[in-house]
Structure 1
Amino acid sequence: MLVTRPQPDNEATAALLRAKGVEVLLAPMLRFEPVAFDIDPEVEYGGVIVSSANAFRAMEGKPSLTRLLDLPLFAVGPHTADVAEAFGFRDLVVAEGDAISLRDTIIATVRERNMDRSKPLLWLVGADLARDIATELRGLGYNVVAQTVYKMVPVHSLPDDVCSAFAGSRIDTVMHYSGRSARSFLDAARAAGIEISALAIVHCCISEAVASVVREAGATRVIVARAPSEAAMFEVLDRALGLPS
């Protein structure tokens, strides 16, 4: 099985698969890069929004992180919430793993807690968003400040061991965690001359949006998680491939 998830999360995924007896190869198709940024020390924020655990990698060691720890932290899903807790955030509000759920969770929580909407919510975000919920929230009257703290850069080539495995027909499944990484994988496979082999295998996708990327490229053996989480991806893999649960 080929895991295209970026580092370092791909190692955790590989460990889970190997525990099921699966041979795993890694080809991270997006590379994390922090970007320079400043958080306005004069602004009193009402909460923090995080749609990817990568935001904490970008914030690590920043003095400005300390002043945010007592604020409500709106996390896109359980994994991001776990990382937030490890960094010291205590008031965690956890969505169901996708941008729409995160948006709706923010709206519901602000109403339920009667939070002061004059205080901006600080969204620590990556460049090249799949969905800009800040604009959607502003349209509903919420004060959201989006601060780009990292970017995920496409990787344009596949590792040699992955190309060799495709040549030997040893890869039968690939896992896709985002539309951008799926496109990067398809581009890299085309550049390596293995596109036909890459499209012929099973593509396990975290969402229908990601699945549409590989289907449009010509993949026909596509399975999709019922929810946008790695746990749901493992569930569909277990059923489709007969892996031990």
Structure 2
Amino acid sequence: MAVLVTRPAPDNQATADALRARGLEPMLAPMLTFQPLPFRSDNDERYSGVILTSANVIRAIVAHPLLQHLQTLPAFAVGARTAQAARDAGFRKVRSAEGDAAALRELIVAHGLPRKRAALLYLAAADVSRDLVSELGLRGVEVASIPVYRMAELDEFAEPVRTAFAHDAIEAVLHYSRRSATAFVKAVRRGGLEVSALALPQLCLSAQIADVLRDAGAHRLIVARAPNEADLLAALEEVLRPRQ
């Protein structure tokens, strides 16, 4: 029996390793794929810090001339993994939130820079689940946003995944974002797999992700205690324990 991992590559490989370390069999079914976007930014533009909501931002800018300019600025990362990716890319002053956008917003408000200084630069995805720029603006923090990557939906399962669902060879599904959960639901419907797929335990990084699956008809919804993978996998082990 396998645990389906909907997380995009390359991060899904780390999840697969973590599952194997727990004696579980991973099956990778990424529902989103990373695509860097071309962007322009004047190196002479003055910013007072950088907002990082995903390690994908680092992948998108790692070869861009702007990176060297930004490395010296304070960086506000959504969580530990993004913070570490920033440090690995040469950022020297990194603060980490607790793993979601609300915690990041409060971190910026609490530890941000004086209001009359230059704007913070938000290196964003093309599709975002919440308007962090407006939320910070209401709190008196000026933010300039530049889309640097997009996550394209993959709304159809590969044949091995469809076969695994058909043979009841999957025992749980891991979900990491609202958009990937939405793509998962589309793939389930495209493959005519609603009964077998949505009846399984759906392990979600947040309540907002669980809402997407609940609206699609899933009932066995489990939300991680905190929005990080360690708590998600702890919840998975708890769900599967009676079966082992």
User: What TM-score, normalized by structure 1, do the two folds share?
Assistant: 0.95
What is the match of residue 175 of structure 1? 174
Which amino acid counterpart does residue 131 of structure 2 have in structure 1? Answer: D
Tell me the CA shift for residue 195 of structure 1.
1.5
Q: How many residue pairs align between the two structures?
A: 240
> d(CA) in 2 for partners of 1:97 and 1:17?
20
Which residue of the partner structure matches residue 81 of structure 1? 83
Indicate the residue corresponding to 1:102 in structure 2. Answer: 104
User: Which position in structure 2 is the counterpart of 1:124?
Assistant: 123
Shift of 1:117: 3.5
Conserved 8 A contact 1:46-1:116: no
Residue 74 of structure 1 aligns to a residue whose secondary structure is strand
Matched, 1:241 2:243: no
Aligned equivalent of 2:135? 136
Aligned pair partner of 2:4 in 2, 26, 35: 2
2:192 is paired with a residue whose SS is coil
Report the equivalent of 2:157. 158
**Contact persistence 1:200–1:220 (CA under 8 A):** yes
Look up the match of 1:26: 28
**d(CA) in 2 for partners of 1:30, 1:141:** 34
Letter of the structure 2 residue corresponding to residue 108 of structure 1: A
In structure 1, distance between residues paired with 2:101 and 2:130: 7
Q: Deviations over 1:98-134 (max 9, x none)?
A: 1110000001002xxx546421100001011111111
Tell me which amino acid in the other structure corresponds to 1:216. D
Q: Does the 8 Å contact 2:201/2:222 carry over to 1?
A: yes
Query: 3-state SS of the aligned residue for 1:151?
Result: strand
Give deviations 1:8-49, integer Å, cap 9, x for gaps: 000100011011111111110011111110122221110000
* Distance across 1 between alignment mates of 2:239 and 2:162: 25
Amino acid paired to 2:239? A
Letter aligned with residue 108 of structure 2: I
Distance 1:83 1:42 in 2: 25
Structure 2 residue corresponding to 1:93, chosen from 92, 95, 98 = 95
Q: Give the whole-Å Cα distance in 2 for the aligned partners of 1:117 and 1:61.
A: 31
Identity of aligned residues (%): 47
Question: How far apart, in 2, do the equivalents of 1:4 and 1:140 lie?
Answer: 35
Which residue number in structure 2 is paired with residue 70 of structure 1? 72
Counterpart AA for 1:96: E
Tell me how far apart the structure 2 counterparts of residues 94 and 42 of structure 1 sit (CA, whole Å): 27
Alignment of 1:40-51 (within 5 A): 40-51=42-53
Unaligned runs of 5+ in 1: none
Q: Matched residues in 2 for 1:206 and 1:140: separation?
A: 27
CA distance in structure 2 between the partners assigned to 1:39 and 1:234 by the alignment: 39
Deviations 1:209-238 (A, max 9, x none): 001111111111111101111111012112
Structure 1 position 194, deviation (Å): 1.2
TM-score (norm 2): 0.95
Residue type of the alignment partner of 1:195: E
Q: Compute the RMSD of aligned alpha carbons.
A: 1.2
Question: Where do 4+ consecutive residues of structure 1 move more than 4 Å?
Answer: none
The CA distance in 2 between the partners of 1:45 and 1:187, in whole Å, is 40
